[in-house]
Amino acid sequence: MSRAGGPIVRRGREVVPGYRVVGLLSRGRTLDVYDVWSEERGCRCVVKTLRPDRLDDARARNRLLREGRLLRRLAHPHLVRAYEVIVEPRPAAVLETLTGETLAHLVDRRSRALGGAELGILGLQLASALGYLHGRGVLHLDLKPSNVVAEGGRAKIIDLSVARAPGRIPPGVGTWCYLAPEQARGEVVGPEADVWGLGATLWEAATGDAPFDDGDDGPEYPQLVRDPEPLARRRPRLPRQLSDTIDACLRAEPARRPSLAGVVRRLARVEGVPDLSRIR
């Protein structure tokens, strides 16, 4: 089977040694993601590998291997796990299989919007994973609903392909309508950029819309020219503590955003959300 990007590995064939294809999950600009059977583990896994037409793309290769090696060093209930990184004959990262759906898909298919307690618990789980990353000197920098998988009441962050240490970055690293203003401008980024991503993700989870998706007719980066609509206007029945916290995460100036610890404290005060800091 073949399509734009080169041939797709057929079902039952090895995409890399020891991993037989069950099916193609997705094809992106540089990567193919396969559902595979692991001969060694006797179970299904996920393999991310370069598209056939990108095998000579050194930047894409390095980015994939860097992501796989980073995920292998991490272990957190709300982060996808990596089992193995393969360099030859074809670069690949072997990841755990997640049986849920992306937050973007969940929000799109539900007839009812997520409630206050659901949003608060989601926020605590994502903040927990981000705090773990930050403690290891890593920023995610691409948090959005399509990079969160909801599985049995547990959220897991995926795709650390642009993750890096705090510091100055090239303009626009990440996904345009979820970028913190300093990220869009290519300035120095720190944990505050992921606080912004958390706010944007929760705002969309609450409303079904990205806070800064103005379509093709708007400015390149709407977040550089306007503030988001206050969440309470879209969801007036949400607990004010929750909507105010999400709005605070989306403040233009990094110094005015709450810290992740501050976000956790605020969300823990939302009705129906357990305060996990009291569990010892």
Note whether 218 and 210 are within 8 A (CB).
no
Residue with tokens 């005015």: 256
Q: Of 32, 142, 194, 247, which one is the catalytic site residue? A: 142
> Would residue 209 show up in a list of annotated catalytic residues for this protein?
no
**How far is the CA of 87 from the CAs of 48, 66, 163, 236, 279, in angstroms?**
12, 11, 20, 51, 43
Residue 72's DSSP bridge partners are none
Beta strands in the chain, from DSSP E residues, in sequence order? 2-3, 6-7, 14-16, 19-27, 31-38, 43-50, 82-86, 92-95, 101-102, 148-151, 154-157, 167-168, 188-189
Q: Which long-range contacts (CB under 8 A, 24 or more apart) does 145-148 make?
A: 145/102, 145/103, 145/104, 145/107, 145/201, 145/204, 145/205, 146/102, 146/103, 146/104, 147/102, 148/102, 148/103, 148/104, 148/201
Q: Which of 248, 125, 134 is nearest to 190 (CA)?
A: 134
Q: Would you state the structure tokens that stand for residue 163, as one six-digit string?
A: 């993750």
C-alpha triplet 60, 66, 68: angle, nearest 5°: 105
Specify whether the CB–CB gap between 50 and 32 falls below 8 A.
yes
Distance CA 165, CA 103 (A): 26
Q: Which residues are catalytic?
A: 142
